[in-house]
């Protein structure tokens, strides 16, 4: 069977593909000039991901954000010299009108939720680049920044607004559409921008937004400048932000080549993993292959390996698979994750990255795994990990087991094989990959039990078989070979029998215990808001605000509070 996704689909034709590159961008222009890069939003109105709507006023759909996510990733890996990224409009008199309303009105509920989640993750990736990679972001707003447009601006370190009497920032969703800002708007206004809640209330219920001096006084922007000095102010602020960056001036970036993915019937193949569907139990079995060799001898070898370096290549493939499943396989409810390979070889790659984490590229790869694991945490699919003889779950790969809703590890060998399953903790499991709640996944399992975390840390570097993994809370169940197949089968069949809506809510509630952070609030509220408000008649009914937007007719709200 031919590869179904060998090339990017045209608008509305075939599955959604997140693979892209700058030479295929239709909506963003990327320019790099030494320490400063510019991302200009110039949306192709006819370039929607599906037919039936035009992307007017620099509004966006998922296709626009796929390009933005790709650009943010490439700037981190391909341009280590870039210290500041300026996000601005390529159009006059409009920055960004936010998510395209007609797209939202015509989309399925599942697509709306997946779209909002992806845009949230992209904005969090921008903030992660600022906080941990030394790549600062400056948003230069000339014209209207409404809804998702202002939410994009809030992901930046600094917002500069032209003070021309008409340019404004706004979150008009409540007033116009009967829904809420979908990409962290309300949370970032108060948690990040520190806007007073009474002012935030006014701001979030007015259509026209806030301009100039008031936007500055309220903390909605960081700086204003008249039209005559706007470009000079952008340049001055960009250089000031660049002075705070530790990005290496003379370093050579690595090229992120296209990801090879081949779909044959019910199987998906990559260089380092494969996936197969069992549609009877709505499951996808994912098998990760460990490295075939040792890590490079030194940091020059890492640069030379580029995107073929196993931890980086694998991370890119896992992310592509997870996003492919999100957007194109809604009936698949459970991801079953296994691995095969040399445990020691995986641990060696993990140790190499930790030993060189002060190097910009090793740092980026570790940070990429952190973001990838968060994306897996936030994916609305049940996660089951299987640790069998020949598995290679160590270090950053062991995080997949810790991320699972349930982990099964074989106790003893299979009848026809004398090998036992083993896992290995490394130093990376104790701080490199915090979840959205700010805790490591092991800390989340041992919530408020520091002694348990300390006992587990004492096992660092050791191969733990089922008894040791179970006693240190690394897996949930440790059946022997007699019960193994039945226990796994029953778990998958039970999962398939439950309400997927209930499972989504349950998993979102259980995966991030303990303290709340801005990020956990954004995604926790997204699960509740988008899965509830976007289904209410006041938004999407025949007389709902989203349905009637642009018709001139007023929404007919059911005024009862629920």
Whether 294 and 237 share a structural domain: no
**Residue 410 pLDDT:** 97
Whether 229 and 201 share a structural domain: yes
pLDDT tens, residue by residue, 276-324: 999 999 999 999 999 999 999 999 999 999 999 999 999 999 999 999 9
Separation of alpha carbons 325 and 16, rounded Å: 10
**Residue 531 pLDDT:** 67
Chain mean pLDDT for the chain: 93
Place 106 in a pLDDT band, splitting at 50, 70 and 90. confident
pLDDT tens, residue by residue, 194-234: 999 999 999 999 999 999 999 999 999 999 999 999 999 99
Whether 191 and 277 share a structural domain: no
In a domain, 557, yes or no: no
**Residue 7 pLDDT:** 31
**Domain CATH for 95:** 3.90.226.10
Whether 154 and 286 share a structural domain: no
Q: Indicate the SS3 state at residue 510.
A: helix
Tell me which of 528 and 275 has the higher pLDDT.
275
Whether 308 and 233 share a structural domain: no
**Residue 415 pLDDT:** 83
In a domain, 128, yes or no: yes
Q: For residue 222, count CB atoms less than 10 angstroms from its CB and return exposed for 0-12, middle for 13-18, buried for 19 or more.
A: middle
Q: Of 472, 490, 506, which residue is a domain's last?
A: 506
Q: Of 242, 277, 303, which residue is a domain's last?
A: 242
Q: What is the DSSP letter of 24?
A: G
In a domain, 552, yes or no: no
Separation of alpha carbons 119 and 104, rounded Å: 14
CB-hemisphere CA count at 13 Å for 236?
9
222 neighbors 163 (Cβ within 8 angstroms): no
Domain hosting residue 94, numbered range:
22-242
Whether 231 and 266 share a structural domain: no
Whether 301 and 449 share a structural domain: yes
Whether 67 and 126 share a structural domain: yes
Provide φ and ψ at 347, rounded to 5°.
Answer: -60, -35
Whether 55 and 182 share a structural domain: yes
In a domain, 368, yes or no: yes
Q: What six digits make up the tokens of 137?
A: 């972001």
Q: For residue 61, count CB atoms less than 10 angstroms from its CB and return exposed for 0-12, middle for 13-18, buried for 19 or more.
A: buried
Whether 138 and 228 share a structural domain: yes
Which helix (H) or strand (E) segment is 110 a member of? helix 109-132
Token match 């070889």: residue?
A: 345
Average pLDDT over residues 427-448: 96
Whether 211 and 300 share a structural domain: no
Q: Of 182, 214, 242, which residue is a domain's last?
A: 242
What predicted TM-score, i.e. pTM, was given to this entire model?
0.94
User: C-alpha angle 33/119/539, rounded to 5°?
Assistant: 140
Whether 287 and 227 share a structural domain: no
pLDDT tens, residue by residue, 541-556: 899 888 888 888 999 9
Report the length, in residues, of the chain.
562
> How many domains does the chain contain in total?
2
**Residue 530 pLDDT:** 63
């Amino acid at each position: 069977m031919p590869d179904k996704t060998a090339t990017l689909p045209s608008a509305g034709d075939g599955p959604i593909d997140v693979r892209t590159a700058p030479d295929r961008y239709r909506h963003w222009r990327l320019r790099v000039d030494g320490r400063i890069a510019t991302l200009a939003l110039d949306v192709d109105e006819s370039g929607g991901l599906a037919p039936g709507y035009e992307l007017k006023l620099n509004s966006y759909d998922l296709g626009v954000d796929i390009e933005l996510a790709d650009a943010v990733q490439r700037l981190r890996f391909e341009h280590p010299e870039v210290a500041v990224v300026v996000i601005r409009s390529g159009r006059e008199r409009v920055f960004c009108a936010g998510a395209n309303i007609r797209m939202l009105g015509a989309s399925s509920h599942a697509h709306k939720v997946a779209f909002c989640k992806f845009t949230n993750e992209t904005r969090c990736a921008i903030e992660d680049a600022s906080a941990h990679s030394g790549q600062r972001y400056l948003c230069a707003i000339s014209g209207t920044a409404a809804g998702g447009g202002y939410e994009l601006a809030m992901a930046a370190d600094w917002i500069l607004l032209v003070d021309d009497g008409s340019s404004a920032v706004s979150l008009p969703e409540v007033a116009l559409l009967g829904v809420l800002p979908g990409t962290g708007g309300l949370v970032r206004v108060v948690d990040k921008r520190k806007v007073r809640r009474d002012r935030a209330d006014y701001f979030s219920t007015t259509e026209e937004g806030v301009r100039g001096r008031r936007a500055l006084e309220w903390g909605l922007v960081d700086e204003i400048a008249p039209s005559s000095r706007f470009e000079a102010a952008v340049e001055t602020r960009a250089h000031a932000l660049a002075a705070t960056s530790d990005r290496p001036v003379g370093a050579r970036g690595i090229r992120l080549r296209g990801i090879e993915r081949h779909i044959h019937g019910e199987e998906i193949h990559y260089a380092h993993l494969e996936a197969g569907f069992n549609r009877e139990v709505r499951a996808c079995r994912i098998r990760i292959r460990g490295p075939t060799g040792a890590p490079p001898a030194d940091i020059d070898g890492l640069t030379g390996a580029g995107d073929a370096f196993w931890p980086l290549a694998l991370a890119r493939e896992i992310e592509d698979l997870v996003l492919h499943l999100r957007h194109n396989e809604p009936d698949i409810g459970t991801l079953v994750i296994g691995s095969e390979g040399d445990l020691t070889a995986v641990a060696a790659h993990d140790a190499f990255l930790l030993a060189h984490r002060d190097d910009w590229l090793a740092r980026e790869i570790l940070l990429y795994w952190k973001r990838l694991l968060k994306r897996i945490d936030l994916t609305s699919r049940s996660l089951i990990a299987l640790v069998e003889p020949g598995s290679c779950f160590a270090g950053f790969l062991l995080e997949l087991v810790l991320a699972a809703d349930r982990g099964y590890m074989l106790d003893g060998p299979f009848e026809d094989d004398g090998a036992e399953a083993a896992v290995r903790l490394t130093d990376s499991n104790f701080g490199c990959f915090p979840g959205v709640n700010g805790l490591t996944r092991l800390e989340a399992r041992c919530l408020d039990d520091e002694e348990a975390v300390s006992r587990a840390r004492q096992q660092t570097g050791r191969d733990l078989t089922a008894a040791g993994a179970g006693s240190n809370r690394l897996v949930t169940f440790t059946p022997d070979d007699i019960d193994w197949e039945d226990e796994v089968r029953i778990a998958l069949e039970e999962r398939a029998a439950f309400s997927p809506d209930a499972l989504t809510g349950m998993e979102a509630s259980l995966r991030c215990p303990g303290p709340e952070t801005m990020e956990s609030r954004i995604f926790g509220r997204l699960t509740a808001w988008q899965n509830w408000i976007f289904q209410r008649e006041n938004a999407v009914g025949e007389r709902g605000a989203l349905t009637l937007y642009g018709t001139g007719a007023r929404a007919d709200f059911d005024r009862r509070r629920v």
